[in-house]
Structure 1
Amino acid sequence: MAGEELFSDLPPPRIRADCPDSPCITSKDSTINSSLYQAVIIPKPAIKRPSEGGDIEDGAKKVRFKTTTEASALQVADAMRKIASHIGNASKFSKASKLAIQLLDSGSLNNETSDLFFDILKASMTSPSVANQPNLRQDYHELFSAVSDKTEVFSHLQRGQLEVWMLWAIIANDFFTDDTFVFSKAANKVKQHISALPEATAADDVLQAMKKAAGDVSVNEIVEAGEGCRMDNSSTGDESDNDPFGLNELMSKSSKKEDRIHKEEVATRRVCEEESRLLQERREALMTCLEIAAGRYRVKWAQTIIDILAKHAFDNISRFTSQQRSAVENLWSSVKEQQIRRKQGKTATGKLDVTGFERLQSQYSRAKISIRHSVGADGDRSAEQWLG
């Protein structure tokens, strides 16, 4: 009570406006703090960077970056014709084949351009044996492997021709590999193609003889040339000379029917001739595959695969022509001879095929080593009595 009376006359305490104990926030400080808060807490909008294929705004101007070029159908057709004119040259094949693969990857191969692209493949296979040359076999393999996934756009006869070309470009080149799996897979495909061949007839022998006599010119080209000459001869002369009495008009109805039947017969005959030609080329391609595979017989891991392949070809020798049968017989005879040598312990070179252990065993059997090991190193057993 005394303390309260002591300070009763004093005025009540008042808070100072400047607040020395706690700093007061002025309007200026509040503006600075709010700006700092926005700078730290509120994220800045990300800077828009021009993406690939996006737009760059420079005032009213826009620049668009294109990573691909869309070619018109006319440009694609011109490109295919240009590639076809160069791909037949072996020195230009590598570059031309890569351009053809780019057309395939871009989706330019369709029903409208299938004939033009087939002309590219036809020009590249003018001489099929070129596909097996060491400097070109990889490019041929890549080209026809890319085409093998898009064969549905070609016609029936074109697909048959592609199968023959793939025997040269893909399967035959697979026999040059060092991969056992790829080699075995190629051998199985060759066996399947051999089993699918029909029995060879005398007509097949005649066709092969005609092609050989014509200097590797296809029989179909010879037949077409003959038909063209006959058509040229029949078209020569004046129409008035062929019909001096004007009877063609009276026989127009019957002649139209006969023309239609004649055209159907010609088309059927050409299809048969084309199939015969493809069959002949398929046999030749399979013989090439057998020859290339037989050339790898020195590789030990390939010997068993080649034995089975040659045996299968010999068992189906009736599916080849007479000239090809002799080649198959020689191949099988060579394989059997190699098998006999292997059973005798000899390699394909005629030397004894021995393991490292057998070679060392033979070497030590001729060395002068005593049965007492280090005693009597000359092999004369001079220390045998001393050892008791």
Structure 2
Amino acid sequence: MQKITSHIGNRSKFSKASKLALQLIEAGSVKPGTVSHFFAILEASMSSPGACNDPSVRADYHTLFGAAQGVTELFNQQQKNQFDIWLLHAVVANDLFTDDSFVFSKAVGKIKDAISALPMATADDYTDEAAALAPASKTSTPENKTNDNVPTAASHSLTGDSTHAEVSNSREEESSDPFGLDDLLDHKPKKCEKAQEKTVAALNRKADEEESNRFLKSRREALLKCLEIAARRYRLPWTQTAIDIFAKHAYDNVNRFTKHQRDAIEKLWNSIKEQQIRRKQGKSVNGKLDVNAFEHLQEKYAREKISIRHAVGGGGRRATQWLG
């Protein structure tokens, strides 16, 4: 597995390495004892998430990560969270490049569900994004450093006061426990252990929170990437209805993204709306309106009459009543 890990990150060797990784899954070699090594293979393959959408390796990535879904029960929670993000890049995003309308619509549905599952963006998310986008803070000048090293009278007085306080405190402690018996009592170590446990618990909570924020950030970025890929396929008539619904859903849930991502979604939605207008008003080469299949049928049957008891054309209510 280590040999596969060392080669799978190389795009020219990915196809061969991914097939070897597939053989591990099919042979049942991914077990609790080897799952960490297998996860390292997946991690190495996704060292650059954009590589999985390259046309030369797109199908191999899709096959590998599609098969890897069968061993996710062996992953820990952190690995599962990371794998879910990789699925968006390697499987769902690649499904948007398909020529199958069913596969495309299914991928769009998954992305819509993932967007709906996102929590609302908070002020902390905006702060983290601003900190990541802001340039590095300037270092202090040599003059400031020199001034910092120059002692002042006030600093001497503060140092003297603190030293005097420390000496007086140590004398009080010695007078209260001249023989140092308090250190031998049982309650002292217990207090230290409790303090250490609290410190460890606080550090664990902080680490879990940071991991959750990192996962949420990566998930938002992956979903935005999927939206951009779908928008680039808008020129194909059979994708337009699904993309219209998808982009509108993302725009309606824009508060679930950070400010920078929100701006990108609004630009995409405005671009799609402009293309909708051009598509309905502009003329194509054959002189007909450049509309998709649904809009063509909607326009056709809007002029037909339907009968309550018979087929279309039998007279009766207008078709617009049931076509919308």
Cα distance 1:118–1:354, how it changes in 2: closer, same or farther (>3 A)?
Answer: same
2:288 counterpart residue number? 354
TM-score by length of 2: 0.71
Structure number with higher helix proportion? 2
Separation in 1 of the partners of 2:241 and 2:24? 41
1:316 counterpart residue number? 253
Aligned residues: 245
Q: 1:108 aligns with which of 11, 17, 29?
A: 29
Preserved CA contact (<8 Å) 1:208 1:280: no
SS of aligned partner of 1:190: helix
2:319 counterpart residue number? none
Preserved CA contact (<8 Å) 1:346 1:353: yes
Preserved CA contact (<8 Å) 1:144 1:166: yes
Which fold has the larger relative contact order, with Cα–Cα distance below 8 Å and residues 6 or more apart in sequence? 2
- Give CA-to-partner distance per residue, 1:296-343, whole Å, 9 cap, x none: 011000011100000000000000100001111011101111111122
Separation in 1 of the partners of 2:184 and 2:132? 44
Q: Which amino acid aligns with 1:278?
A: F
SS of aligned partner of 1:200: coil
Q: Which runs of 5+ in 2 are unaligned?
A: 137-179, 291-324
Identity %: 53
Q: Structure 1 residue 256: deviation in Å?
A: 1.5
Separation in 2 of the partners of 1:199 and 1:147? 30
- Give CA-to-partner distance per residue, 1:268-301, whole Å, 9 cap, x none: 2111111110000000000000000000011000
Q: 1:138 aligns with which of 59, 71, 93?
A: 59
Separation in 1 of the partners of 2:58 and 2:68? 15
Q: 1:172 aligns with which of 90, 93, 96?
A: 93
Preserved CA contact (<8 Å) 2:224 2:261: yes
- Give CA-to-partner distance per residue, 1:191-216, whole Å, 9 cap, x none: 0000000001121123234445699x
Alignment partner of 1:202 is 2:202: no
Of 313-322 and 246-255, more deviation after overlay is shown by: 246-255
Matched ranges for 1:1-388 at <5 A: 80-212=1-133, 251-346=188-283, 354=288
Preserved CA contact (<8 Å) 2:35 2:75: yes
Cα distance 1:287–1:355, how it changes in 2: closer, same or farther (>3 A)?
Answer: closer
Q: Which amino acid aligns with 2:93?
A: A
Cα distance 1:327–1:151, how it changes in 2: closer, same or farther (>3 A)?
Answer: same
Q: Which amino acid aligns with 2:115?
A: I
SS of aligned partner of 1:198: coil
Cα distance 1:345–1:203, how it changes in 2: closer, same or farther (>3 A)?
Answer: same
Separation in 1 of the partners of 2:246 and 2:100? 17
Preserved CA contact (<8 Å) 2:281 2:289: no
Runs of 4+ in 1 over 2 A off after TM superposition: 205-215, 245-253
Of 256-265 and 142-151, more deviation after overlay is shown by: 256-265
Separation in 1 of the partners of 2:207 and 2:249? 33
Structure with greater Cα Rg: 1
Q: Structure 1 residue 345: deviation in Å?
A: 3.5
Q: Which amino acid aligns with 1:195?
A: S
SS of aligned partner of 2:98: coil
Preserved CA contact (<8 Å) 1:345 1:352: no
Q: Structure 1 residue 346: deviation in Å?
A: 3.9
Cα distance 1:326–1:103, how it changes in 2: closer, same or farther (>3 A)?
Answer: same
Q: Structure 1 residue 253: deviation in Å?
A: 2.2
- Give CA-to-partner distance per residue, 1:239-275, whole Å, 9 cap, x none: xxxxxx9987763222122212211221121111111
RMSD: 2.3
Separation in 1 of the partners of 2:203 and 2:36? 22
